[in-house]
Structure 1
Amino acid sequence: MAEVETSRIASFDGTELAVHRMGEGRPVVLLHGLFSSAQMNWIKFGHAAKLAGAGFEVIMPDLRAHGESDAPHEPDAYPDDVLAKDVAALAEKFDLTDFDLVGFSLGARTAARAVINGLKPRRLAVIGMGLDGLSGWDQRAAFFIDAIDRFEEIKRGDPAFMAASFIKTMKVDRIAARLLLQSVSDADPSDLAAALTMPTLVLCGTEDRDNGSPEALADLLPDGRLAEIPGTHMGSVTEGALGDELVRFLAA
């Protein structure tokens, strides 16, 4: 397997982000999901290695307040759309002009917002995402904020138990994560249709409708293509089929 190299970059406001890189060739930026990390979503289950083996340079930031990146506690460090701003800063730092962009869950939301804000990847892949998940964040955010606020009292059987368990496993900074959850911006369907004009893969687990209908999202986009892999929202990212589908789509 190709070696992973990790460096740190200063984002638009000086917040430092850890960036993990693997392979050589066309750059592809991979954005992980909420409370996760590049290691958990992309490296651990072999997806990054498959892309590197197919001739890509894989660039995997840990999002702000995640993984090895800074997790500031100051509210000013979380302006609206902060994650999309971080992705734009990363693209500028690495001089990315001809590149592809992939996001899972929160990373998919971030990728879509970055494109709406002006980023222009050659190809885009949004994983674990449906139309409702891009245009109705408040309810989803409220669920996770509640899990953070009740973290110490949540027991097995509580609807928030799995979220709280993942927060614990990933050693998430709950103060920073709570601030981050309030900074995520919705994407209006008309803005999605107008901005996401590049070939876009909507990839979802067969048992995953956590973020609404992937079919509706693929139908909305001018060049949307729907593909399914086995699994639930959290389970699908562990499937080898995810890496295979990304290679198939991005290598075309």
Structure 2
Amino acid sequence: MNLNAPAFSTFSHDGLSLSYLDEGDPAGDPVLLIHGFASSATVNWVHPGWVKTLGDAGYRVIAMDNRGHGGSDKPTDPDAYRPWVMAADSVALLDHLRIPAAHLFGYSMGARISVFAALNDPDRVRSLVLGGLGIGMTDGVGDWDPIADALLAPSLESVSHDRGRMFRAFADQTKSDKQALAACIRGSRDLVERSDMGKIDVPTLIGVGTKDDIAGSPQDLADLMPNATALDIPGRDHMLAVGDRVFKKAVLEFYASQA
């Protein structure tokens, strides 16, 4: 497996061309990776080593560029980015690959998408790993309008909002379509009802960095669910927790416990 340049394919859903990779052992248990806002399958999963780590452990590793991101089509209507719409893209990829059910692993926005997939298509989800999003899943993560404004600003230098600057710099670094991302951040913020979290009974691991000021408590979210465990990722913020060794070890142990 080439860590730097896996092969991407495309499939069509909802009138869009969506880009994905399919690596690892074709006969292994499938893990579908769903990346975060302003990221991509490559940035979120290939570069931090997740595709290699899971592939080396014997899993079939699938990751899609969410609509508006990476090599996928980029609509500019905020309603195109509602979490249940994006969750349907993920389930459609499983359909395309003829996979009856998979382990879903989402980071940040991808964690929200994974939860909507588990609520809407529970028979397709074998387990959940939710990274970078704790009780913010149900209670919100603050005001994100300044991030949309930052993405549409003339330049990074003209942005004064701290979180807006962080995401604008990230979008510039990844050469993202900032108009599509602004639509995404405005359309993808629907919260999950606390009572709905209690309906998700698949094994779930919730990992959040101890320095993450966006996600909210992983333990508080786990407490709402019948079969969930919280993981503190020591000393990591929202951007750095995803590739952490503690997180990788915990995820591998979590999957091994279900074998």
Q: TM-score, normalized by length of structure 1?
A: 0.90
Unpaired runs of 5+ residues, structure 2, are none
Task: Tell me if 1:213 matches 2:213.
Answer: no
Task: Tell me if 1:114 matches 2:80.
Answer: no
Task: Tell me if 1:95 matches 2:119.
Answer: no
- Report the 3-state secondary structure (helix = DSSP H, G, I; strand = E; otherwise coil) of the residue aligned with 2:54: helix
1:142 CA drift (Å): 1.8
The total of aligned residue pairs comes to 249
Distance 1:79 1:105, change over 3 A: closer
Q: Deviations over 1:34-64 (max 9, x none)?
A: 1001111111121111111111000000110
Unpaired runs of 5+ residues, structure 1, are none
Shifted more, 46-55 versus 146-155: the winner is: 146-155
Out of 196, 201, 221, the position equivalent to 1:197 is 201
Task: Tell me if 1:224 matches 2:228.
Answer: yes
Distance 1:149 1:88, change over 3 A: same
Between the aligned partners of 2:187 and 2:85, the Cα distance in structure 1 is 6
Equivalence for 1:6: 8
- Report the 3-state secondary structure (helix = DSSP H, G, I; strand = E; otherwise coil) of the residue aligned with 1:220: coil
Equivalence for 2:170: 166
Between the aligned partners of 1:157 and 1:147, the Cα distance in structure 2 is 8
Moved over 6 A (4+): none
Out of 235, 240, 244, the position equivalent to 1:235 is 240
The aligned amino acid for 1:213 is S
Between the aligned partners of 2:128 and 2:135, the Cα distance in structure 1 is 15
The aligned amino acid for 1:197 is D
Q: Deviations over 1:195-245 (max 9, x none)?
A: x21110011112124121111001111001111223111111232333222
Report 1:1-252 matches (<5 A).
1=1, 4-11=6-13, 13-24=14-25, 25-73=28-76, 77-78=80-81, 81-120=84-123, 121-136=125-140, 139-152=142-155, 154-155=157-158, 158-159=161-162, 160-184=164-188, 185-194=190-199, 196-230=200-234, 231-252=236-257
Bigger relative contact order, structure 1 or 2 (CA pairs below 8 A, ≥6 apart): 1
- Report the 3-state secondary structure (helix = DSSP H, G, I; strand = E; otherwise coil) of the residue aligned with 1:233: coil
1:110 CA drift (Å): 0.6
- Report the 3-state secondary structure (helix = DSSP H, G, I; strand = E; otherwise coil) of the residue aligned with 1:221: coil
1:148 CA drift (Å): 1.9
1:145 CA drift (Å): 1.4
The aligned amino acid for 2:133 is M
Between the aligned partners of 2:112 and 2:180, the Cα distance in structure 1 is 19
1:170 CA drift (Å): 1.1
